[in-house]
Amino acid sequence: MLKQTLGKYKLILGSKSPRRQMLMKGLDLDFEVITVDTDESYPKQIPTEDIPVYIALKKARAFDKIFMPDWLLITADTMVILDEQIIGKPHTRKHAQQMLRQLSGKKHSVITGVSLRTIDNERVFNCKTDVWFKPLPMKKLHTTSTATLPLDKAGRLRSTGMDRLTSE
């Protein structure tokens, strides 16, 4: 039924994210990946929980000059929020370890904002998931190799061997 509903559109995923591409493939839909560089800044006065939707919309509007009438464009942004503060993407092993220490034994939120856009309509929404970390064993954290730490990914701990340290 979903394929029939989408049949008149060319599905465009406006994201380089391998995880988003994997999700789309899991829906068994034909889609094309097209990306446009987008400034992901946002006004300071926006409530923290609204930032992912703001950026998802900004990413969608970056397609204005190339948007085609038969497209259904999907853009998204994900952020990790701890104590009303955005936890960015770790870029070094040390930074990743510091972030994991911050999250240890605490609850944080992962919020994804999504924009679905056609030539005539645009819908936006967000999805918020609360994640509780068990206290992380610091000795294991210090001995984890560089290759297994979650670098450059928001809200990403799967495949690190640390996934069993979180509770659903």
Residues 75-128 have pLDDT tens digits of: 999 999 999 889 888 888 888 888 888 888 999 999 999 999 999 999 999 999
Model confidence pLDDT, tens digit, residues 39-80: 999 999 999 999 999 999 999 999 999 999 999 999 999 999
Cα–Cα distance for residue pair 3/6, rounded to 1 Å: 5
Give the per-residue pLDDT at 141: 65
Identify the structural domains of the chain with CATH numbers, from first to last: 2-167 (3.90.950.10)
Among residues 39, 77, 130, 163, which one is catalytic?
A: 77
Q: What pLDDT does residue 146 have?
A: 47
Residue 77 annotated to the active site: yes
pLDDT band at residue 163, thresholds of 50, 70 and 90? Answer: very low
Q: What share of the chain is helix, strand, coil (3-state, %, to 5)?
A: 30, 25, 40
Highest average pLDDT, of 60-69, 142-151, 158-167, comes from: 60-69
State the pLDDT at residue 161: 40
Residue 29, pLDDT > 60, answer yes
Of 7-16, 18-27, 53-62, 83-92, least confident by mean pLDDT is: 83-92
CA 9 to chain centre: 24
Pick from 55-64, 129-138, 141-150: least confident: 141-150
